[in-house]
Amino acid sequence: MHPLHLRTSGTSLLLAFDAGEAEIVHWGADLGDSIPDLSLLRSPIPHSALDVPVVAGLLPQASSGWLGRAGLRGHRANDDGVPGFAFSPALRVVAAEQSEDGRGARIVQSDAEAGLEVVSELVLHEGGLLEISHELTNAGAGAYHLDELGVVVPVPAQAAELLDLTGRWCRENHPQRRPIQQGTWVRSGRHGRTGHDSSLLVAAGTPGFANRSGRVWAVHFAWSGNHEQYLDSLADGRRMLGATELLGSGEVVLAPGESYRTPILYAAYSDRGIDGVTDAFYHWFRARPNHVGTTSGRQRPVVLNTWEAVYFDHRLEPLLELAESGAELGVERFVLDDGWFRGRRDDHAGLGDWYVDESLWPEGLTPLIERVNGLGMEFGLWVEPEMVNLDSDVARAHPDWIVGPAAKSHKDGGRLPLEWRHQHILDLVNPDAWQYIYERLDALLTENNIAYLKWDQNRDITEHGHTGRPSVHEQTLAYYRLLDALRAAHPGVEIESCASGGARVDLGVLQRTDRVWASDCNDALERQTIQRWTQAVLPPELVGSHVGPTHSHTTGRIHDITFRAITALFGHFGMEWDIRQASDRDRAVLGRTIRLYKQHRGLLHSGVRVNADLAEPNLKLHGVVAQDGSEALFAAVVHGTLATETPGRVGLPGLDPERVYRIEAVMPTSEDLPRTVEGDAASPFVQISPPAWLAHGTTASGRFLSEVGLALPVLQPEHALLLRATTVG
């Protein structure tokens, strides 16, 4: 069988067929038009080894001599009901075809004796993002118990370092690195959702790979339930980077003719460091027909969320005042957060009772919605449909709808999982519970002019069971079906994926939602790292980024308004703060930032994200450059004290080397700064005199600005400088 060669945007994937098995023999740099005889890749046979070369298949198998993690694990019982048979399939290719555009492939592999068939689909999208998934069908006579079906891609030996992301509540998506050594490295997520510590990106790269340099092979697993991500490094030098859904005992049992489809593994190769990987993901996102942002014509509105302004204190008059205060600043979407439904005075009660609380809202939400709309703003609403408090009408009426490890409800003596934020999980696998939630949300959206749902999920699913059997898999699919059904019934409503912050951020949920809440932490210093690494995969128009109060309630830090505003600007901009209480200066800076956001959101939400490689760990520079190179915005950010007296010259990456740019400081300027007792501007700069260009700007070529750089002023720690580059002539 002839090899299949998929190629686009500087990337090639080469599929070979040796010994009847499909194998990715190359994924990486473009190979050009000519492919030689692939026998030159056949491995030698060492001493103390199998007598034939080992094939690292599209699904690695012990039957082909693979000694690492198998791609497929499962078994079936014999005629006497004894389990453990068909434990080692020998899948071999029965069909392989390439798509007409040359960028896709469909491979069918079968093992008639084991009664299994696997269809693998691969697509190399314009922009270079690779998509792989497998579908397993039980073609045998009895039930097949599936333990694991993984999706893997090979990475070459020159990939010597591994980078992944981890975190916790209010500290999501922080990077960690390690050398790749022999053995299997595994990251497991057993949260019943993606998880605060889940790695949005796993990247293997050449030694020292960085933002703008080095070769990188990176993957993302598009699944919102339990999962594992891993790198398998064998003694023969071969390495597999992959992921799999983490299934519970007996969770997926396929009857004859039934199928299981893996979540999609997305993969990107770059010879330009991590920024090149980011480009591939952004290109894919922005080409989607359902994408929101400048490229789709659906610009991202300025948001005001009420949570950190009023918390559970829901009274009409203060909320109207907040809406009017926001409208004066230029807010375009007003979101009413937790506390509007029956019995909800704190987080101990009410979840599951999705009816507007008549004691708080005797006329329903109509007076607030009409005023918000009259001020020229959309209205959004917070919901948490998958959760339930025991102190709720629905829990009292339907105890069997509450998830637990037992086959009977807690009212009948069944054990419940431990509580988390005083709440449990509603069993969406139960069709009656699913239908109840769908009908309540459908009614809310039908009866009210709601343009946006902030869809939260504030706990892990630690012991998810349906009728006594593990069911995270089915709960995740039921959640997806619920989103799909509501989107079909209300196509104009946008939905945010929030899960106590960034605990459900993945491309599975983003196929059905319009943005994510990257973290419950609005501390600008924490947000700098959270947003940088969230946006390594997700374009900024999909990442909610809000200006929080002066005093952060999650960290206790106090930051100047300019630092908070510049940080929030590089995302889907909003505010989560009682802006009625903001000082005149803070409101003036907020108003100017909102005008800057509206002026530049076309650039921010369509441009190329760039991240400079700097030697000083406490100095960061990131930005967005227009696709045609005509303009750019950069933020120079000081995270802590610097080792040197001045930052020195810093290059501005991504600019067109042949163009001349005017560079100017946009924020803070003297009008943004606080005043001393004497009335002078209290500068955030720690210097006797500033760089010569700072007051009035300067001009230079993109090549000069990239290679030689710009002398930065000496900023205080936890401050930022916003720069704008525009072409001259």
CB-CB contact of 108 with 95 (8 Å): yes
Q: What would the two tokens of residue 406 be?
A: 């037992």
**Contact 107/216 with Cβ under 8 angstroms?**
no
Rounded CA separation 382/677 (Å): 43
Tokens of 669: 């300027």
Could you count the other beta carbons within 10 Å of the beta carbon of residue 59? Answer: 25
Give the DSSP letter of residue 262.
P
* Beta-carbon contacts of residue 707 (< 8 Å; ≥ 6 apart): 651
Residue 328, both tokens:
């004066």
CA-angle at 455, arms to 449 and 461, nearest 5°: 155
Q: Cα–Cα–Cα angle for 588, 586, 695, nearest 5°? A: 65
- In tens, the pLDDT along 291-350 reads 998 777 789 999 999 999 999 999 999 999 999 999 999 999 999 999 999 999 999 999
- Specify the length of the chain in residues: 729
Q: What's the CA dihedral at 569, 575, 576, 581 to 10 degrees? A: 130
Query: What type of residue is 170?
Result: C
At 106 the three-state DSSP class reads strand
363, exposed or middle or buried, with CB in 10 Å at 0-12, 13-18, 19+?
Answer: exposed
Residue pLDDT, tens place only, 672-725: 777 665 555 567 888 999 999 999 999 999 999 999 999 999 999 999 999 999
In whole angstroms, give the CA distance from residue 242 to residue 27.
14
Rg (CA), the chain: 27
For residue 488, what are the CA distances in angstroms to 477, 483, 514, 700?
16, 9, 14, 51
CB of 543 closer than 8 Å to CB of 572: yes
456 is catalytic: yes
75, 183, 184, 292 from 611: Cα distances, Å: 48, 32, 31, 24
**Concatenated DSSP letters for 372-429?**
HHHTT-EEEEEE-TTEE-SBSHHHHH-GGGB--SSSS-GGGTPPPPPPBTTBEEB-TT
623: its two tokens: 């930005």
At 677 the pLDDT is: 55
In what side-by-side order are the strands of the sheet with 72-76? 72-76, 144-149, 252-254
Q: How far is CA 321 from CA 318, 327, 528, 585, 589, in A?
A: 5, 10, 31, 19, 20
- The tokens of 681 are what? 């501007």
Residue 154, burial from CB neighbour count under 10 angstroms (0-12, 13-18, 19+): buried
CB 206 within 8 A of CB 180: no
Do the strands 515-517 and 494-497 form a parallel or antiparallel pair, or are they unpaired? parallel
3-state SS, 461-501, equals: CCCCEECCEECHHHHHHHHHHHHHHHHHHCCCCEEEECECC
pLDDT at 674: 78
* Residues facing 452 on adjacent strands: 380, 494
CA nearest to 467, candidates 433, 427, 434: 427
3-state secondary structure of 614: coil
What is the C-alpha separation between 475 and 466, in angstroms, rounded?
A: 9
| Rounded CA separation 57/363 (Å) | 63
CA pair distance 174, 164, nearest whole angstrom: 8
Phi-psi region of 474 (alpha: psi -120 to 50; beta: other; left: phi over 0): alpha
Active-site residue (options: 520, 560, 586, 656): 520
Which helix (H) or strand (E) is 275 found in, with range?
A: helix 273-287
pTM over 0.95: yes
Strands 239-245 and 227-233, bridge-based pairing? antiparallel
3-state SS, residue 244: strand
pLDDT of res. 669: 86
Q: Measured between alpha carbons, how far apart are the two ends of the chain, in Å?
A: 57
Residues 6+ apart with CB under 8 A from 439: none
Which strands make up the sheet holding 183-189, listed edge to edge? 151-155, 239-245, 227-233, 183-189
Residue with token string 């750089």: 709
Token readout for 666 is: 């946009």
Q: Which of 111, 232, 427, 456 is catalytic?
A: 456
pLDDT < 50 positions in the chain: none
pLDDT of residue 496: 98
Domains defined for the chain, CATH in brackets = 4-287 (2.70.98.60), 298-387+429-458+488-602 (3.20.20.70), 609-727 (2.60.40.1180)
Write phi, then psi, for 204 (nearest 5 degrees): -105, 135
d(CA 136, CA 114): 12
Q: Chain-centre distance of CA 118, in angstroms? A: 28
Decide if 347 is catalytic. Answer: no
668: preceding bond cis by omega (within 30 degrees): yes
Longest dimension (CA), the chain: 92
Exposed/middle/buried for 511, CB within 10 Å: 0-12, 13-18, 19+?
Answer: middle
Which residues is 162 bridged to in the sheet? 178, 204
